[in-house]
Amino acid sequence: MEGLEPRLAKLARNGDRDAFRELVQLYKDRIYHLAYRMLGNAQEAEDVVQDTFLRVYTNLDRYDDTHKFSTWIYRIGTNLCIDRLRKRKSTLSLDAESSEGEGIDGHDMLSSPDPLPEQQLVLSETQQVIRDAIEKLPAKYKSIVILRYLHDMSLQEISDVLNMPITTIKTRVHRGREALRKKLDHQHFF
Amino acid sequence: MKCNEAITFIHEYMDGDLDAQGRMDLRQHLVDCAACRQRMDQYTRTTALIRSMPRSPVPDYLVDSVMQALPGTRKRQVWTR
């Protein structure tokens, strides 16, 4: 039996915007949380959600419905986040005003995690330590740790999303877990 | 079993990736080695803490803003007119 998402994707491909809206409803939270944790910033998380769905929409013809829709959309979302992290790195020394925004310079774009939404949640001291530890992980470990523990994916699913051999994913999960343990240990957390 | 081997086994165990023989060997090592027991406990606590992170609120307007940003007409509609 055809699953819900492939059916909605097929309808959306034929121009049914309500079907696409349903796909947005189904996945917006997951992509937002992925992007928020990857980028540590609410505005960028929103932008990634926008860009992800725009790409999904414009590439519906290329979606192969023998594969899971979730794998496809997570791949698009994760790649967009990784691109943004790469761009931040390459603009690290930028003092000049950005061409993307008025009065925004490189430092603003590199701003540390947006404190507002999580202040509303009132993070415990422990959670702040965890958030910072995840935030500081190199991107190649960060994406894997987030998919594994915040999105409950298996190693195989992560391998499918990132299009990498499962042996690479295993090694990175191990290293990511060790890096986080070390950071927490360093903070005398244990 | 040496500790560095045990640590690899701990990771594999945590990922549900360790076979029965490996689990037995690891269990035996953990009985004998307090340092590896502590290490495993730290990994377990680390992952539990990550899993327990609260999710930031998703803006209510997100669906509408995504829909509004889509291009107006898909090509396929043109064919079927």
Full DSSP string of A16-75:
-HHHHHHHHHHHHHHHHHHHHHHH--HHHHHHHHHHHHHHHHHTGGG--TTS-HHHHHHH
Residue A109: the pLDDT is 47
Residue in chain A lying closest to B68 (CA)? A50
pLDDT over 80 (residue A105): no
* pTM, two decimal places: 0.83
Residue in chain B lying closest to A130 (CA)? B50
Measured between CA atoms, how close is B63 to chain A, in angstroms? 6
ipTM exceeding the 0.85 mark: no
Residue A92: the pLDDT is 62
Of residues A2 and A161, the one with the higher pLDDT is: A161
Indicate the pLDDT class of residue A106, thresholds 50, 70 and 90: very low
Q: How far apart are the first and last CA of chain B?
A: 70
Residue A107: the pLDDT is 44
Whole-angstrom CA distances from A20 to A23, A26, B67 are 5, 10, 8
pLDDT over 90 (residue A154): yes
Residue A65: the pLDDT is 83
Residue A189: the pLDDT is 82
pLDDT over 60 (residue A69): yes
Q: What is the DSSP string of B12-80?
A: HHHTT---HHHHHHHHHHHHH-HHHHHHHHHHHHHHHHHHTPPPPPPPTTHHHHHHHHS-SS-HHHHHH
Contacts of B70 in chain A (CB under 8 A): 17, 20, 53-54, 57
Which B positions 10-69 lie with beta carbon below 8 A of chain A? 11-12, 14-15, 17, 39, 41-43, 45-47, 49-59, 62-63, 65-67, 69
Of residues A63 and A126, the one with the higher pLDDT is: A63
Q: What is the mean pLDDT of residues A104-125?
A: 56
Indicate the pLDDT class of residue A126, thresholds 50, 70 and 90: confident
Contacts of B80 in chain A (CB under 8 A): 14-15
The tens-digit pLDDT sequence of chain B (81 residues) is 999 999 999 999 999 999 999 999 999 999 999 999 999 999 999 999 999 998 888 999 999 999 999 987 555 545 554
A22 touches chain B (CB under 8 A): no
Indicate the pLDDT class of residue A27, thresholds 50, 70 and 90: very high
Indicate the pLDDT class of residue A101, thresholds 50, 70 and 90: very low
Dihedral angle computed from the Cα positions of residues B30, B34, B37 and B43, in that order, rounded to the nearest 10 degrees = -150
Residue A89: the pLDDT is 77
pLDDT over 50 (residue A134): yes
Q: What is the mean pLDDT of residues A151-166?
A: 95
Measured between CA atoms, how close is A152 to chain B, in angstroms? 9
pLDDT over 90 (residue A108): no
